[in-house]
Structure 1
């Protein structure tokens, strides 16, 4: 149920984001096209590039790859919680800022294959740091506006708030699905 619930709630969040964006601007989300963003054109999310206006338009796209962490699981010799796999495997998308009862958070999403590889490397580094500090294994899914880390406990699936290098400080939700139900997407541009 956790994997399905996460995928369903991400679908609701992305649809709400697109609807709000269209209501606000009468167009799809867009990102300025410049030297810093040109690499982003290689993504299933990109719908249209308007060189003249200097932007490219995008929309979240279903991904549904729940094997994306198979190699990471083998390397860590641990199964990754299904809600984490569903979170990262459901959509190709830019990150999403959301409001919540505990403040603004940005949800990390995968834009393209390069992002996926970078994420795997970062999750591996995070896991090694947790092991080195003899802390329970968590995997990050987002950040707060004040740079605290939103993580999912790999054993229980609970969602926590952490600071880098420290154990979880606060439980935000009993599950990732529960957390996602509490979020409302905003139109704040993601700057990952």
Structure 2
């Protein structure tokens, strides 16, 4: 399953980059990432960076998250977070607009792990089932997450038991995403 996730993420990222090339004649661009170091940066124009995804230069996993919480994470979570460095990517899943989260650099990957630990600790305190966020929505109190118990992709209201299943697994979710550039 984790290889399916890596392939599905790479395929979506390719679709995203191609949509940018068709729209703007360049790779993806971001003002928000201007001035933030990353091996993904191709060029800087004004206060905008053009980027392309890059593989991790070292073997990366979410083992630090697992150790911190004494939990085993879904293999698909490792595949999603540790297979590439890239900018966050706006996308659509059916009629839902979202921003797929990615690590921008290896330093950013450390921050992502810290945020995942914080998210999981909050869920444990509230006696909620463990999830790992994958994407943000316009309503900042809602996120798209991977359920660590079932492997399903869910839309959840942060800090509550409100969840709805969007996809039976992460690979299927990524395959259904459409770039929103």
Q: TM-score, normalised by structure 1?
A: 0.86
* 1:118 has 2:111 as partner: yes
Relative to 1, partners in 2 of residues 1:142 and 1:32: Cα closer, same or farther, differing over 3 Å?
A: closer
Tell me which residue corresponds to 2:44. 49
| Aligned structure 1 segments of 4 or more residues deviating by more than 4 angstroms | none
Assess if the C-alpha contact under 8 Å between 1:64 and 1:89 holds in 2. no
Separation in structure 2 between the aligned mates of residue 5 and residue 150 of structure 1, nearest angstrom: 19
- Residue of structure 1 in register with 2:134 after alignment: 141
**Structure 1: distance between partners of 2:149 and 2:97:** 26
Counterpart pick for 2:34 among 37, 45, 54: 37
* Residue-by-residue CA offset, 1:92-121 (whole Å, 9 max, x unaligned): 000111111141111100001221111111
Structure 1 residues 105 and 62: CA distance shift in structure 2, 3 A = same
Q: Which residue of 2 aligns with 1:99?
A: 92
**Separation in 1, partners of 2:12, 2:135:** 15
Contact in 2 for aligned 1:21/1:27 (Cα 8 Å): yes
Q: TM-score, normalised by structure 2?
A: 0.91
Question: Are 2:24 and 1:3 equivalent residues in the alignment?
Answer: no
Which residue does 1:60 correspond to in 2? Answer: 53
Q: Distance in 2 between matches of 1:66 and 1:168?
A: 35
Q: In the TM superposition, what is the alpha-carbon distance from 1:91 to its structure 2 partner?
A: 1.1
Q: 1:66: how far off?
A: 6.0
User: CA offsets per residue over residues 114-149 of structure 1, 9 Å max, x none?
Assistant: 211111111111111111111111111111223311
- State whether residues 34 and 49 of structure 2, in contact with CA within 8 Å, keep that contact through their aligned partners in structure 1: no
Equivalent pairs counted in the alignment come to: 180
Cα RMSD (Å): 1.9
Contact 2:34 2:48 in 1 (8 A): no
Q: Larger radius of gyration, structure 1 or 2?
A: 1
Matched, 1:170 2:169: no
| Structure 2: gaps of 5 or more residues | none
Indicate conservation of the 8 Å contact 2:6/2:80, yes or no. Answer: yes
User: How far does the alpha carbon of each residue in 1:6-49 deviate from its partner, in whole angstroms, 9 at most, with x for none?
Assistant: 1111111111111111111112222348xx831x1x21101123
